Structure 1
Amino acid sequence: MFCFRNYMIHLLFLFVLFALPISITAELEDEFIQAINKRKLTWTARHNFAKNVSKDDLKKLVGTRSDFYTSDENPVLTHRVNMSSIPKYFDSRNHWHWCRDVISHVRSQGFCSIAWATAPASAMSDRTCIESGGRVKKSYSAEDIMTCCLECKIDLNPCHGGWHHKAWNFWVKKGVASGGDYGSKEGCKPNSEVAYHHGPPTCEHKCSNDHYQIPYDEDKEYGRFTYKLSEDERQIRAEILSHGAVTSVMDVYEDFFSYEGGVSVLDQNGKCLILSAGVYQHFYGKYVGTHVVKIFGWGEEQGEKYWLAANSWGPSWGNSNGTFKITRGAQECEIEREVRGGRTLGKLSPREYLWKSPNSAKPKQNLQAIYFLLPFLLHLVNS
């Protein structure tokens, strides 16, 4: 009886440890991280934030469900996809190596929910460099977007969240000035201390960097047009392969804060053995909010298809300078639901088409049918 009782207690402990959602009080409890790592999942966990960072601090990093807002007038861009031309692995940093320093830069948004401005600013920087052949290496100012794009914000405080598709629209309509990270003194409008922690209340049509010589209006660069992509992961890959990074909204759960990545070791012959691929999938914890990230590549490890993405929680987060991998093609954390891009050049290729989005006001049924069937029809044409 004694052995049976101990056995049942042990089973109960395992059930609580592995089956029930586990709450966080600081970043994530040690037990929470240990539970993830003991399961030998597709990724490993660690403490990414200081012990004095509270749960309320972490909530400031993410937005709300309204960040999925998609009822806008932007068209849908569709590629005529030839799957044989899309590689199994792709990393924008290597493909456009002359822009590697721009694409590789991972920003830090501070404890303020401004990823809706930070991620688009980063992707715009990538695309400007790529489409200029590396001649223009401009770091677009997230602060310029978050202060001056009034329609982008949920309310007057940009730290309460905003809409990333409107940040892309702002780039086309109003232009965006240059500006680096907090403390960098780079460009016209680098992130200020106020923006980094609380969000500045007003828009200033002038450079905040006294050492920058180019006037604000002359410093601004403009996009030519912006658009949404369908949820078909082949369409998203075709877009990244052709023009660089896109931005996407994803759900954030408690375990994402402690994402580390994969684990690999060298065997006795010096061969690299991958113990876990580092591909994030949500396993533990409650829903916290939504977040905007930059997707700049893809691949596959141990049978796990993934997106390669950049976070905006600084280069020390995660396993590889602030980047992460997340399951591709399965709507993991809704990662393929709301994807956006834009161009500095106005010409489409013969294999690209712009269609009216069915989420626009009063869409016609035939346009809705075309939107949903077009990727499938184009696939049949090329197969």
Structure 2
Amino acid sequence: MWRCPLGLLLLLLLAGELALGARRGRGRRELAPALHLRGIRDAGGRYCQEQDLCCRGRADECALPYLGVTCYCDLFCNRTVSDCCPDFWDFCLGVPPPFPPVQGCVHRGRVYPVLGTYWDNCNRCTCQEKGQWECDQEPCLVDQDMINAINQGNYGWRAGNHSAFWGMTLDEGIRYRLGTIRPSSSVTSMNEIHTVLGPGEVLPTAFEASEKWPNLIHEPLDQGNCAGSWAFSTAAVASDRVSIHSLGHMTPVLSPQNLLSCDTHNQQGCRGGHLDGAWWFLRRRGVVSDHCYPFSGRERDEAGPAPRCMMHSRAMGRGKRQATAHCPNSRVHTNDIYQVTPAYRLGSSEKEIMKELMENGPVQALMEVHEDFFLYQGGVYSHTPVSHGRPERYRRHGTHSVKITGWGEETLPDGRTLKYWTNSAMRKDTWPMTTPELLSPQLFS
């Protein structure tokens, strides 16, 4: 490493310029754009110093990567345009830079211009004039610290980043990705239907509806950012039950959008709804297939108007109904109306729920969703305590409704047996049968 006073620097630069002026043509480095006059001075600024690199004259190998280009730590770097590394003057020459540096903010290895605004997951960040990186402090739906804590905590399930949730706040996740309103006391006090097991009857340790009824159990539909699980789970269970009880003669995927747009009595569409109202509508009014009336999707805009109902029905006698309009999807012409029988509620006995599911098909259940559930990727889910030491805004929950398709058992390392329910949306182990997050299943048929 070498250093020299400012006067000597000027003399050396002048001599270098005269000598190089006699060369024919211009080298590649002479055509390079200036790094600093139009660029950003790295607030860290340790390039030549980091490598202890300072070179006399022209030395093309005396170079380092700088923000996607190359900067130099030799005297030639300041000949025509400045492609010197940011700390060349003060570290190699012991003098201030010849022009004021443009300050920026260093964040996660990148440099950002002053007063620029950027998104970091769900938070908006700004590079302030003095180089401070300031961000909003909203809890994000995808939280890497929580993912790490869950995966390191041996809670029996794996957490990960779902790209569809990236950029959403936790509040938005609760508001837009769930959507079932807790049932009223009149619903929770409905008489329970009890299923009696025969003498000596033994239920299997594992069951999956799609294996007993192949091609009759439908894949889940994506509700997107519509808080309409009340409509999606109801349509999903009804679709499977119609297919099973018609012995496969009818296999419709029933339309959640028909419920979202047309079942408006005490319902809020993509802002939440009641399960009992959805089943009442299915029984008394009926819905068409999803092919006929497809899901229109919904962006995160609560102020926007709900899509109007485009499929009504009228009575034909004997409880049957007929569509009064063509399908909203002009490519589909079959606008059959599907109805169901009255809804009923199951008790909390796991054996009775298992027998009902095995004999008649999937059941619907309410689930208390906490902040960590949005990170679920596999295993037997149960709510973890990883957010207990954080501020209250990081601990949120809401009510969701799901379709239960089966059950199973898993042997834990300590020899205990863990029973669990399965859900078609997960296609994997989901909740232990004893978890408080899965509320008493309610079957509607």
Same fold (TM over 0.5): yes
Number of equivalenced pairs: 276
How far has the Cα of 1:75 moved from its partner? 4.4
Aligned to 2:292, the other structure's residue is in SS state: coil
Structure 1 vs Structure 2 CA RMSD: 2.4
The 5-angstrom pairing of residues 28-107 of structure 1 reads 28-50=142-164, 51-59=166-174, 60-63=176-179, 66-72=181-187, 75-82=191-198, 84-99=201-216, 103-107=217-221
Task: Flag the 1:96–1:294 CA change in 2: closer, same or farther, 3 A.
Answer: same
Aligned match of 1:131: 245
- Larger relative contact order (C-alpha < 8 A, sep ≥ 6)? 1
How far has the Cα of 1:134 moved from its partner? 1.6
CA distance in 1, matches of 2:231, 2:240: 15
Specify which structure has the higher proportion of helix: 1
Runs of 4 or more, structure 1, over 3 Å off, are 72-75, 193-199
Aligned match of 1:252: 369
Q: Which amino acid aligns with 1:260?
A: Q
Task: Flag the 1:193–1:336 CA change in 2: closer, same or farther, 3 A.
Answer: closer
8 Å CA contact 1:90–1:298 kept in 2: the answer is yes
Task: Flag the 1:126–1:196 CA change in 2: closer, same or farther, 3 A.
Answer: farther
How far has the Cα of 1:310 moved from its partner? 3.0
How far has the Cα of 1:116 moved from its partner? 0.4
Aligned to 2:194, the other structure's residue is in SS state: strand
Question: Gapped runs of 5+ residues in structure 2?
Answer: 1-136, 312-324, 388-394, 412-416
Aligned match of 1:340: 443
8 Å CA contact 2:420–2:429 kept in 1: the answer is no
Task: Flag the 1:140–1:104 CA change in 2: closer, same or farther, 3 A.
Answer: closer
- State percent identity of aligned pairs: 29
How far has the Cα of 1:332 moved from its partner? 2.4
8 Å CA contact 2:147–2:375 kept in 1: the answer is yes
Q: Which residue of 156, 159, 169 corresponds with 2:270? A: 159
CA distance in 2, matches of 1:338, 1:331: 12
Aligned match of 1:301: 410
The 5-angstrom pairing of residues 1-383 of structure 1 reads 25-50=139-164, 51-59=166-174, 60-63=176-179, 66-72=181-187, 75-82=191-198, 84-99=201-216, 103-151=217-265, 153=267, 157-179=268-290, 187-194=291-298, 200-205=306-311, 206=325, 207-215=327-335, 219-261=336-378, 278-284=379-385, 285=387, 286-302=395-411, 303-311=417-425, 320=427, 324-328=429-433, 330-333=434-437, 335-342=438-445
Normalised by the length of structure 2, the TM-score is 0.58
CA distance in 2, matches of 1:307, 1:192: 31
Normalised by the length of structure 1, the TM-score is 0.67
CA distance in 2, matches of 1:134, 1:106: 18
Question: Gapped runs of 5+ residues in structure 1?
Answer: 1-22, 180-186, 262-277, 312-317, 343-383
Task: Flag the 1:234–1:287 CA change in 2: closer, same or farther, 3 A.
Answer: farther
Aligned to 2:220, the other structure's residue is in SS state: coil
8 Å CA contact 1:297–1:309 kept in 2: the answer is yes
CA distance in 1, matches of 2:190, 2:283: 12
